Amino acid sequence: PGIVHRIDKDTSGLLVVAKTDAAHQALTEQMSVHSIHRVYHAVVYGNLKEDTGFVEAPIGRDPKDRKKMAVTQQNSKYAYTGWQVLERFGNFTYIACKLKTGRTHQIRVHMAYLGHPVAGDPVYGPQKPDLGLKGQCLHARLIGFVHPRDGRYLEFESPLPDYFARLLIKLEQL
């Protein structure tokens, strides 16, 4: 009956899809009260100064470019992204992001807002990235939720895609 958790076109990783209407309703409710546990991994440009942090800034359509989202007060919705540094590579930082909300392009917009866009992101990052990536380095790594029928907590993890893992190896060697 429907997709409960989706990801952006060039983001890799996990989705949640409901097989029944009842499951869809139960999972959508968990999403709306922010009880679905989601962790994304990303490589961002620059070196984040702190080891952990968060962005709590509203996201809406970019007033200057209707195809993009932006941190804005106009027609926006509350958005919260927490992040933690996993590894530093000089001009890049490997991070884990935890979401309380699920706005369109949320991690990409929030990290760009901080001045640390996602590596390989052609929309919110440098127009000509020099990393040789075919996609952005943003991966829906882990998702956890309560099973809609039997009440068990389930957690699923997805390994990094090859291009992402290769970039991390390349950055370690720099």
Catalytic residue of the set 8, 21, 150, 162: 8
- Locate all alpha helices (DSSP H) within 2-156, ordered by sequence: 21-32, 106-113
Give the burial class of 54: count Cβ atoms within 10 A of its Cβ; 0-12 exposed, 13-18 middle, 19 or more buried: middle
Q: Nearest-CA neighbor of 11 among 131, 165, 130, 134?
A: 134
Q: Report how far Cα 105 is from the mean position of its chain's Cα atoms.
A: 7
Q: 3-class DSSP state for residue 88?
A: strand
8 is catalytic: yes
The DSSP result for 55-86, as a single string, is EE--EEEETTEEEEEEE-STT-B--EEEEEEE
Which residue numbers are catalytic?
8
